[in-house]
C-alpha cells in the first residue's frame, strides 16, 4: 500500500521539477588518467546512492504522506453512472478524495522533500570526490552547449568530460567554490 501511494505522490510531482538539465559544474583532478577518473566517478556515485536516508525527516514526511494517501484512496468509491446517458457524474465522495489527496500533497511538499534527499546523496558523492583530491569546476556556456550535444553514457561524452576534468588550466580558471561537509 505504501509503495502504491509513493507512486501516486510521485505522479503528483510536476515533471518540470524532475527534468534533467545540463550540469553547470563537474569534478576534476589535474592529470588524472581516464581509467582512474571513471573508477573514482563510479565508486563515489555508488557511495552517494548507498547513503542511508531512512532516518531523514524528508523521507519520514513522504512516508507519512503516503500512508495518509493510502487511507484516503482506500476509502475511495467508484463513480456513479447516470443510466440515462451513460456519462459519469461528478461524485461528491470522489471530489472529496481528490481534495484530500491534494491537501496531503501540498502538506508534504514532495518537490522540496525530494530535493532534500537528492542533496544528501549529492553531499556524500561530493565528499567522496573531495577526499580523493578532486575539485569542483564550473562549466562555461560553450562547454555546457557541447556537452548538451553529446548523449549521456556515450564514450564521446566521457572522453570530453575527462579532457576538461584532467586539464590543470581548466581547473585553475574555472574552479568553483563549494562547501563540502566532511562530517558524516
Of the listed ranges 44-48, 83-87, 117-121, 152-156, the least confidently predicted one is 83-87
The mean per-residue pLDDT over the stretch 17-28 comes to: 71
* pLDDT number for residue 133: 97
Query: Of 130, 157, 125, which is closest to residue 144 (Cα–Cα)?
Result: 157
Task: Please name every residue paired with 135 in a beta bridge, in sequence order, or none if there are none.
Answer: 28
What does the alpha-carbon distance between residue 63 and residue 66 come to, in Å, rounded to a whole number?
5
β strands within 97-150, DSSP E: 135-138
Tell me: pLDDT of 94 over 90. no
* pLDDT number for residue 166: 97
The mean per-residue pLDDT over the stretch 144-163 comes to: 95
Q: Is 31 left (phi over 0), alpha (psi -120 to 50) or beta?
A: left
Contact 110/18 with Cβ under 8 angstroms?
no
User: Cα(first)–Cα(last) distance of the chain, in Å?
Assistant: 33
What does the alpha-carbon distance between residue 121 and residue 96 come to, in Å, rounded to a whole number?
37
User: pTM of this prediction?
Assistant: 0.63
Of the listed ranges 5-19, 49-63, 114-128, 161-175, the least confidently predicted one is 5-19
Amino acid at each position: 500500500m505504501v509503495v502504491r501511494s509513493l507512486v501516486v505522490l510521485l505522479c503528483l510531482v510536476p515533471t518540470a521539477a524532475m527534468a534533467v538539465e545540463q550540469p553547470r559544474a563537474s569534478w576534476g583532478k589535474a592529470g588524472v588518467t581516464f581509467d582512474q577518473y571513471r573508477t573514482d566517478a563510479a565508486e563515489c556515485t555508488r557511495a552517494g546512492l548507498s547513503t542511508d536516508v531512512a532516518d531523514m525527516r524528508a523521507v519520514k514526511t513522504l512516508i507519512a504522506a503516503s500512508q495518509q494517501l493510502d487511507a484516503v484512496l482506500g476509502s475511495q468509491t467508484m463513480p456513479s453512472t447516470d443510466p440515462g446517458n451513460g456519462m459519469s457524474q461528478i461524485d461528491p465522495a470522489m471530489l472529496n478524495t481528490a481534495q484530500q489527496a491534494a491537501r496531503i500533497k501540498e502538506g508534504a511538499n514532495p518537490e522540496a522533500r525530494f530535493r532534500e534527499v537528492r542533496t544528501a546523496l549529492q553531499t556524500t558523492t561530493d565528499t567522496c570526490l573531495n577526499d580523493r583530491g578532486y575539485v569542483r569546476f564550473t562549466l562555461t556556456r560553450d562547454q555546457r552547449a557541447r556537452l548538451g550535444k553529446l548523449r549521456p553514457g556515450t564514450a564521446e561524452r566521457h572522453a570530453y568530460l575527462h579532457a576538461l576534468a584532467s586539464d590543470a588550466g581548466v581547473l585553475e580558471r574555472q574552479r568553483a567554490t563549494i562547501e563540502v561537509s566532511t562530517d558524516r
